[in-house]
Amino acid sequence: MTANQPDGGSPDGAAPGQPDRQARPGPRPGLLIAKPFGIPVYLSPYWVLIALLLVISYANTIGQQNIANPAARYAVEAGFVLLLYASVLVHELAHCVVARRFGLTVRKVLLYALGGYSEIEQEAPSPGKDAMISAAGPFASFLIAGLAYWLSRLAPGGIPHILLFQVFWSNRLIGIFNLLPGLPLDGGRIFRAGVWKITGKQAQATVVAAWAGRVLAIVLAGLALAGLGAPRSNFLSLFSIWFLVIAAFIWLQSTQAIKVAKVSERLPLVSGRKLARRAIGVPASTPLAEAVRRAQAAGARALVIVDHEGTPTAIVSESAVLATPDERRPWIETGALARTLEPGLVLSADLSGMDLIRAVQQAPASEYLLIEPTGQIFGVLATDDLNLAFAGV
């Protein structure tokens, strides 16, 4: 159980534990069911199907051991599944409340097949705060487990006792599982915060914790396969399959966390000035062959259309130039292969890192004009060069 943040996420869930935080922008994730503390809580459209499968599975495994009447058994397990997801919601809200105390923006909580996750917009500003946000979820699960155990002692027998005892065991298991030291689990984020504190390098700490998550996924998969190979037991088979699903999820999320960490390491190296291609300005009526000749003579790799005052008005498409045969270039005006400079295609040469990425994302194009603070042309940024900076990530 954890809160989703820009680097990796942790579903906290209906099972013994789930992955951690990873921002998932996109369309509305499901049905809006509540807004506790002003935080939108969504229910995945697949939740009902998974909840029904859990009720049937638990009723025919755990429930059979305690309740003889089938109708009562299904009713109890339905109540248990609802309480379990309610516990997951409390777990997620604990992440959100602590994150808000530290001034972070919480976008939403989603309850879905594997449990749930909370989406926190920003990364925690320090390892200590990151650890506290991550620990809040398991702490809430242990509190619920303690409360359920205490209430079960007040109801020493019958269906209330069975239901409360199941809530006690499930929340204790969720709390323990999510404290395992591997991303994307809460324990993985706490482990990452420790490495971050020691090394002072957040990206490096993420990679270490993500590799721990991969090891954890392999161990879980091994245990699950061993359980499937054991003498037939419906209960054991159910949890073995569930653990295989969780192991696959943890592997995928930890792998994604490694990629995101590598990207964040390279971001400081991404600079408009470093990636810019030298450009020359030519009038729109200049024959393409002549414009290419001038660029080659000047050692430039980009062409910009300028008016009679030297003001840039359009940027020439490199792909269009390359697609034009040499024999046709003398007869084609360079302006015919240019795109008019819209506001989003003119960027400051001083942009770098995430600011540069955001500027490019707001106006997708193949080339951008980079200008100095004085308004003079600095060069052209090609999207291919920007992508090359992240090649192999």
Q: Read off the CATH number of the domain in which 306 is found.
A: 3.10.580.10
Residue 6 has pLDDT above 90, yes or no: no
Q: In this predicted model, what pLDDT tens digit does every residue of 77-124 receive, in sequence order?
A: 788 888 888 999 999 999 999 999 999 999 999 988 778 888 998 888
Q: What is the pLDDT of residue 303?
A: 94
Q: Look at 224 and 325; give whichever has higher pLDDT.
A: 325
Residues 123 and 188 grouped into a single domain: yes
Residues 286 and 189 grouped into a single domain: no
Q: What is the pLDDT of residue 346?
A: 93
Residue 294 has pLDDT above 60, yes or no: yes
Task: Assess if residue 393 is contained within a domain.
Answer: no
The mean per-residue pLDDT over the stretch 243-271 comes to 86
Residue 17 has pLDDT above 70, yes or no: no
Tokens in use for 356?
Answer: 């540069």
How does residue 8 score in pLDDT terms, banded at 50, 70 and 90? very low
Residues 292 and 194 grouped into a single domain: no
Residues 244 and 149 grouped into a single domain: yes
Residue 268 has pLDDT above 70, yes or no: yes
How does residue 362 score in pLDDT terms, banded at 50, 70 and 90? confident
Residues 50 and 96 grouped into a single domain: yes
Residue 391 has pLDDT above 80, yes or no: no
Structural domain containing residue 301? 272-388
Q: What is the pLDDT of residue 22?
A: 39
Residues 359 and 232 grouped into a single domain: no
Residues 215 and 320 grouped into a single domain: no
Residues 156 and 284 grouped into a single domain: no
**Who contacts 6 (Cβ-Cβ below 8 Å, separation ≥6)?**
22, 23, 122, 123, 260
The mean per-residue pLDDT over the stretch 136-140 comes to 96
Q: What is the pLDDT of residue 262?
A: 83
Q: Look at 166 and 99; give whichever has higher pLDDT.
A: 99
Question: 16-39 burial, b for 16+ CB within 10 Å, e for fewer?
Answer: bbbbbbbbeeeeebbeeeeeeeeb
The mean per-residue pLDDT over the stretch 17-45 comes to 69
Q: What is the pLDDT of residue 26?
A: 46
Residues 245 and 350 grouped into a single domain: no
Residue 21 has pLDDT above 70, yes or no: no
Task: Assess if residue 18 is contained within a domain.
Answer: yes
Model pTM score: 0.70
Q: Look at 326 and 243; give whichever has higher pLDDT.
A: 326
Q: What is the pLDDT of residue 63?
A: 52
Residue 348 has pLDDT above 80, yes or no: yes
Q: Look at 10 and 291; give whichever has higher pLDDT.
A: 291
Q: What is the pLDDT of residue 219?
A: 93
Lowest average pLDDT, out of 6-15, 131-140, 152-161, 230-239, goes to 6-15
Q: What is the pLDDT of residue 56?
A: 73
Structural domains counted in the chain? 2
Residue 23 has pLDDT above 50, yes or no: no
Residues 195 and 338 grouped into a single domain: no
Cis ω for the linkage preceding 138 (within 30 of 0): no
